[in-house]
Amino acid sequence: MFTHLYDRTLSLSRQRRTALAILLGALSALALPPWYFVPLVIPSFAGLLWLLDAAAQSPRPRRAAFVTAWLFGAGHFVVGVHWIVEPFLVNAARHGWLIPFALAGMAGGLALFPALAGLVTALLTRRFALAGVARALTFAALWVLLEWVRSWLFTGFPWNLMGYVWAATPEVMQAAAFAGIFGISLLTVVAGAMPAVLGSGSGRGMSSVVAVLLFTVAMPAAIWAGGAMRLDSAPVYDPNDTTAMVPGVRLRLVQANIPQRQKWQPQLRAGHLQRHIALSQQASSNPPTHVIWPETAAPFFLASDAVVRAAVATAVPRDGVLITGAPRRSSETGDAQFWNAAHGITGDSQIVASYDKAHLVPFGEYVPLRGVLPLDKLVPGQGDFTAGAGRQTIAFPGLPSVSPLICYEAIFPGAAARSDDRPGWLLNLTNDAWFGTFAGPQQHFAIASTRAVEEGLPLVRAANTGISAIVDPYGRPVAMLGLGVEGVIDSGLPRALEAATPFARWGNAIPAGLLAMVTLLIVLLRVGQSPPGRVTGDSP
């Protein structure tokens, strides 16, 4: 059957190969949150490798390989990040015309990373006569290497890394504590690509079947079993049981569910603030010690507005602290600077600690090359935001030290907390109303929750329209409010793991080591091959 499908793929016309590449890319995105059709990684990546074989037969094989993988990537990212249109709909009269350019530009630009993986795979295949298992491993290693490049190039956008297909499978996600999300991505792409060896001429034999059983079945099963054992020995974090919680801490997360179209309307801002205050003051049999509001929940410059700060202070628990997101501006005259900040406020309306967002969203909070591009940022207000000083561990009274993460700062693996000043928890304040009501917020929550597993730290997440949650250091939600719900979460704060995880200590050096091991395996497999014959395909 595999041989027949492989031969059919090679005989497809160029138009049908184009359509198939886009379709396979779209299917691969459906393995990610919020769909989680994980088995689709197998036909997607195995099919892409077969299409690269077909590209090798074209008169210009390098160009064909690049285009084929780019089409796959375009289909993948159009489906995976289709929510990018949502911010442009908030003020459609002003920004709606940009929607086609935003979606095409985002998907097309991100597709360059799969395109490079396909091109380099084709080049190495031709240069070193790679085949079978070695070729599948080469492609997987390149895919993950370019995911890592995507995480920092042009400020980075590590959204929907392939490892997140397991975000709804906590057993597999435990591997993030050791190898990070890039390590899980490597596992995923290897498992998806390996069945491609069953169709190609060099892979039609029992050794190919063994390779598929090992890499596609046994390896993920072993990772799952190891994660299940880890979870079996993990404590149970009950929001109302203090056994595994930080003593003396009772959190209240406020989710006011304010639509983005209304959030910054001047005549509504006071009402939005009052809604947060009213939710914070709801009676409870077990009153909170600390209240947490989302990103920019207070749509005023709290640091310089004593009147509004006094109003916020009415929602502060007795002898406690309220943590809220709010914009901040410099007190200097002339060209003011603006920050996206988080403040801790006490009952006497004093700000006791603050954090300024360090990793800003391009075109959302600032415009790159502002002097060249005739565009304005999506977030209301004059001028660009200024980046903060960087990752910090700060302390609020009555709480363990914390690493604040505002909005999409939580998507960067290895950058959630300082390894030299380990906090007791992660705090993610966000306004996912920008991302719509479906895939975007769910993907963001899955991504942010992975930071808890990697760091061995609980994650407290307050989101304007959802998903707000308290996540334990194993990545499991302890309490949660879904999308589009107004309400509060009352819960204790889970304890951090006593010892830092291997990933928290070594960061992305661990997945880099895994890539080096895969590279060594490829070399060993190549050395063990018989002398290569000529690879199909003419020079471009």
Report residues of the chain scoring pLDDT below 50: 531-540
What are the contacts of 209-216 at 24+ separation with CB within 8 A? Answer: 211/132, 211/133, 215/133, 215/136, 215/190, 215/191, 216/42, 216/191, 216/192
| CA dist., res. 383 & res. 360, Å (int) | 14
Question: Measuring CA to CA, how many Å separate 502 from each of 225, 454, 508?
Answer: 19, 8, 10
Summarised one tens digit per residue, pLDDT across range 497-527 is 999 999 999 999 999 999 999 999 999 988 7
Summarised one tens digit per residue, pLDDT across range 71-92 is 999 999 999 999 999 988 888 8
| CA dist., res. 201 & res. 213, Å (int) | 19
CATH 3.60.110.10 domain range(s) in the chain: 251-330+338-500
Residue whose structure tokens are 């300082």: 418
| CA dist., res. 533 & res. 325, Å (int) | 63
Helix, coil or strand: residue 85: helix
Closest CA to 121 of 135, 133, 131: 135
R_g over Cα of the chain: 25
Residues marked as catalytic: 295, 357, 407
CATH code at 251-330+338-500: 3.60.110.10
Distance of alpha carbon 75 from its chain centroid, rounded?
A: 19
Helix, coil or strand: residue 488: strand
Q: What is the pLDDT of residue 153?
A: 96
Q: What are phi and psi of 463, to 5 degrees?
A: -125, 140
Q: What is the pLDDT of residue 531?
A: 46
Residue whose structure tokens are 């906590």: 170
* Token code pair at residue 471: 């996540």
Count of alpha carbons within 13 Å of 484, Cβ hemisphere only? Answer: 3
Per residue, the 3-state secondary structure of 443-479, as one string, reads HHHHHHHHHHHHHCCCEEEEECCCCEEEECCCCCEEE
Give the predicted TM-score (pTM) of the model.
0.94
Q: CB-based contacts of 426: which residues, under 8 Å, 6+ apart?
A: 402, 403, 405, 410, 416, 417, 451, 452, 455, 457, 458, 459, 460
Q: What is the pLDDT of residue 206?
A: 86
SS3 content of the chain, % helix, strand, coil (to 5): 50, 15, 35
Q: Which residue type, as a one-letter code, is found at position 52? A: L
Q: What is the pLDDT of residue 90?
A: 83
DSSP per residue, 204-240? -SHHHHHHHIIIIIIHHHHHHHHHHHHHHTSPP--TT
